[in-house]
């Protein structure tokens, strides 16, 4: 039985917006002082129905009178004229509601309620994968079964897009499975755990990872997994094939000597297809990694006639 002058609220009506409200009969806190004999007081605590903890900053409106819950979720609306009131409870990211309550002269009425948090679904997708390795000059888009050179450092950067209506923090995991079946988890070096606003970054947020070496010939399986707050949102699986590339390039080298004495000439400028080399102290020059074909070659040195072959 309630203490004289203290009354636990009776609910006489619920508004249509009262979904997610749970009435509680707990009395784990001290009641406020009794109101003036001719007035009534409403008090209580607002809690999160998931965690059970008090919710600070909840707005309570009692027929135009506004108060907010304190840091523990408690509120007091003292010394009101007795009668029937409409109490409204609201806070961002929680389901609000409306309750009709009756205040009695000379009594405190306790109204404890629980609000349900609004769960906003989150979504994101692994939209792309970028790759770089020597001798590429820039990052390129990676498709499945792409050939890469054997025994090179391979750099990867999977990209993700926020498809949610709220900001989310994206976390990317990247696992490489080698041709022999062994696997390796790579560590991110750029843009990991980045917060992205809704509608932002539609071109994708690229998360760059430490490189791995294509130390085995054959097929590598790459799995990029996107998560946020521990919830897996999407994954992308691609393959690359490491092959040993047999060089089909040519090399050119030679010796330049004085036409009269036969001695080697140092410092002769040798130009081949825009490349420039100078002979060393022994008169030697060399060009490497040339595409097969015909090239003009020019030899120049002060005090000597220029020779084009």
- The pLDDT confidence band at residue 246, using thresholds 50, 70 and 90, is low
pLDDT band at 35 (very low <50, low <70, confident <90, very high): confident
Whether 77 and 108 map to the same domain: the answer is yes
Which of 243, 276, 299 lies at the terminal end of a domain, its last residue? 243
pTM (two decimals): 0.52
Percentage with pLDDT > 90 across the chain = 67
Q: Do 39 and 106 reside in the same domain of the chain?
A: yes
- How far is the C-alpha of 257 from the C-alpha of 266, rounded, in Å? 9
CA distance linking residue 60 with residue 53, whole number of Å: 18
> Do both 131 and 110 map to the same domain?
no
Could you tell me the residue range of the domain that residue 271 belongs to? 250-308
Give the domain CATH number at 39. 2.60.40.10
Q: What's the longest Cα–Cα distance across the chain?
A: 128
- Euclidean distance between CA atoms 87 and 175, whole angstroms: 54
pLDDT of 233 reads 95
With respect to residue 256, please indicate whether it lies within any of the assigned structural domains.
yes
DSSP state of 245: P
From 115, 145, 176, the end of a domain falls on 115
Residues 55 and 155 in one domain: no
Looking at the domain assignment, is residue 70 inside a domain? yes
Q: How many domains does the chain have?
A: 3
Q: Is 1 part of a structural domain of the chain?
A: no
DSSP bridge pairs for 98: 88
Same domain, residue pair 164 and 258: no
Q: Which of 243, 265, 283 is the last residue of a domain?
A: 243
Residues 239 and 254 in one domain: no
Are 146 and 154 contacting, i.e. CB atoms less than 8 angstroms apart? no
* DSSP codes of every residue in 110-143: E-EEEEPBP-----EEEEEEEEE-TT-SS-EE--
Stated length of the chain: 309
Question: Do residue 109 and residue 187 come from a single domain?
Answer: no
Rounded to the nearest 5 degrees, what angle is found at the Cα of 245, between the Cα atoms of 243 and 248? 160
- What band does 12 get if pLDDT is binned at 50, 70 and 90? very low
> Can you tell me the mean pLDDT for 240-267?
86
pLDDT digits (tens, 9 = 90+) for 149-192: 999 999 999 999 998 888 899 999 999 999 999 999 999 999 99
Q: Would the pLDDT of 212 be above 90? A: yes
Distance CA 203, CA 228 (A): 19
List, in sequence order, every residue forming a beta bridge with 16; answer none if it has no partner. none
Distance CA 123, CA 161 (A): 9
Residues 98 and 48 in one domain: yes
Q: Helical H runs in the chain? A: none
Query: 211 and 257 in one domain?
Result: no
Q: Which among 121, 147, 149 is positioned nearest to 133, based on CA atoms?
A: 149
- pLDDT at residue 159, rounded to an integer: 92
């Amino acid at each position: 039985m309630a203490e004289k002058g203290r009354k636990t609220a009776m609910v006489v009506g619920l508004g249509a917006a009262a979904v997610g409200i749970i009435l509680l009969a707990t009395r784990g806190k001290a009641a406020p002082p009794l109101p003036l004999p001719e007035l009534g007081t409403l008090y209580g605590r607002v809690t999160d129905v998931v965690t059970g903890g008090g919710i600070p900053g909840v707005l309570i409106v009692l027929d135009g009178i506004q108060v907010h819950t304190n840091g523990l979720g408690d509120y007091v609306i003292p010394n009101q004229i007795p009668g029937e009131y409409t109490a409204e409870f609201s806070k961002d990211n929680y389901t609000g509601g409306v309750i009709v309550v009756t205040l009695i002269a000379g009594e405190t009425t306790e109204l404890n309620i629980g609000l349900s948090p609004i769960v906003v679904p989150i979504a994101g997708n692994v939209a792309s994968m970028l790759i770089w390795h020597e001798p590429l000059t820039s990052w390129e888009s990676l498709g499945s079964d792409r050939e890469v050179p054997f025994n090179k450092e391979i750099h990867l950067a999977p990209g993700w897009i926020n498809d949610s209506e709220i900001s989310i923090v994206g976390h990317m995991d990247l696992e490489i499975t080698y041709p022999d079946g062994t696997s390796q988890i790579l560590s991110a070096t750029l843009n990991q755990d980045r917060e992205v606003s809704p509608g932002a970054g539609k071109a994708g947020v690229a998360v760059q990872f430490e490189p791995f070496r294509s130390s085995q010939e054959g097929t590598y399986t790459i799995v990029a997994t996107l998560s946020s707050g521990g919830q897996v949102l999407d994954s992308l699986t691609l393959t690359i094939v490491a092959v040993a590339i047999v060089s089909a390039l040519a090399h050119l080298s030679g010796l330049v000597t004085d036409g009269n004495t036969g001695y080697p000439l140092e410092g002769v400028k040798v130009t081949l297809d825009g490349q420039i080399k100078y002979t060393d102290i022994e008169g030697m020059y060399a060009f490497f990694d040339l595409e097969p074909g015909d090239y003009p070659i020019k030899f120049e040195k002060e005090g000597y006639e220029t020779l084009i072959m």
